[in-house]
Amino acid sequence: MKKSFLKSFFADKKMVGSMTPSSKFLTQKMLKNVDFKKAKLIVELGPGTGVFTEKILENLSSDAHLMIFELNDGFFENLQKRIVDPRIIWVNDSAEKIHEYLQKNGFLFADYIISSIPLANLPKKITENILSDSYSCLKNQGKFIQFQYSLLSKKLIDNQFQTVHISFTPLNIPPAFVYTCIKEK
């Protein structure tokens, strides 16, 4: 999918998902199954204003990396100005291209993918591309952790991952579901 084509969808606020940054409760739920001691590469999809980014960096080992995909130019530039950290690999491109950027940066697999992409608002093909690229880029037993405001994308997520756990967080605006998906080869 061409970057310019995808960007045209941002004319619609639905592509951002919510204008309210995620709460600390949702942040905790999203990151509680991340083993920061072992993680060498974490990929974050759709950081927006960076609530998850900050917590990831607080816990990330000094020799590990965080690869960030943010397609929205405004969010991307603001975040890049605000958070300066040599462990970050910045990507102002679509979350469909994880494999391409892993290769470009000399990585084979990611340990975790932390995703805020509003999957249910995107065209089905883009959602499928993001899920299949995420799956193929994770190491065996790696985790794809995604929040959503509905269960509308459950079927597409179940189609891609063998093991999917869902938990609910009422303490967020709007309340959110967290999918923790494990890659089992």
Ligand X SMILES: C[S@@+](CC[C@H](N)C(=O)[O-])C[C@H]1O[C@@H](n2cnc3c(N)ncnc32)[C@H](O)[C@@H]1O
Among 118, 131, 169, 179, binds ligand X (CB under 6 A): 118
- Closer to ligand X at the Cβ: 38 or 173? 173
- Closer to ligand X at the Cβ: 39 or 130? 130
Does 94 bind ligand X (CB under 6 A)? Our answer is yes
**Cβ–Cβ under 8 Å, residues 16 and 72:** yes
Does 116 bind ligand X (CB under 6 A)? Our answer is yes
d(CA 121, CA 15): 6
Least distance (Å) between residue 184 CB and ligand X: 26
- Closer to ligand X at the Cβ: 3 or 38? 3
Which residues are at the interface with ligand X (CB under 6 A)? 6, 15-18, 21-22, 45-48, 51-52, 69-72, 75, 94-95, 116-118
